[in-house]
Amino acid sequence: MLEHGVKYVRVMPSEDDASSAIGRSWKSTYACVTRAEAEIAMAAAGTTCEWLTEADDSACRTTTKALPAIRNAPAAAGAKGEEVFFNSVIAAFNGWIDSRNPDPSKAVLLGNDEPIDKDALKAISEFAMANAVAVPW
């Protein structure tokens, strides 16, 4: 994760879904109405999209660009520039589950598009829960 970063993959509907842990549609996420507008906004963010049907109200599978998994905490935050695990890997693996995204191990990839082992994702989650500390921001 340090070398390649992480990418997030999720299927988003065209309309918000309050029954989903993800909840937001591609329209809400990218502040758009049409697929063409969404494609422009996604491209600007470095996100790729695969439309799952041809209809304008179709869901899409998005994959973000590679994002850092480890960052240096700002010295002003009291962490003195220490490296911190700063990402959404645990949230994606443990919480991005709904009817469109049934397998949480597919929600996160390494930045080089390789999958992350499901057992590794479980271990990361367990380690984080056991070692979490509050950092004053």
- Per DSSP, 21 falls in state S
Instruction: State pTM to two decimals.
Output: 0.84
57-75 pLDDT, tens digit per residue, is: 789 999 999 998 888 877 6
Of all helices (H) and strands (E), which one includes residue 48?
A: strand 48-51
- Per-residue model confidence (pLDDT) at position 7: 95
Task: Scan for tokens 């002003």, then name that residue.
Answer: 76
In the chain, what are the domain boundaries? Answer: 6-131
Please give the class, per CATH, of domain 6-131.
alpha beta
- Percent with pLDDT over 70 in the chain: 92
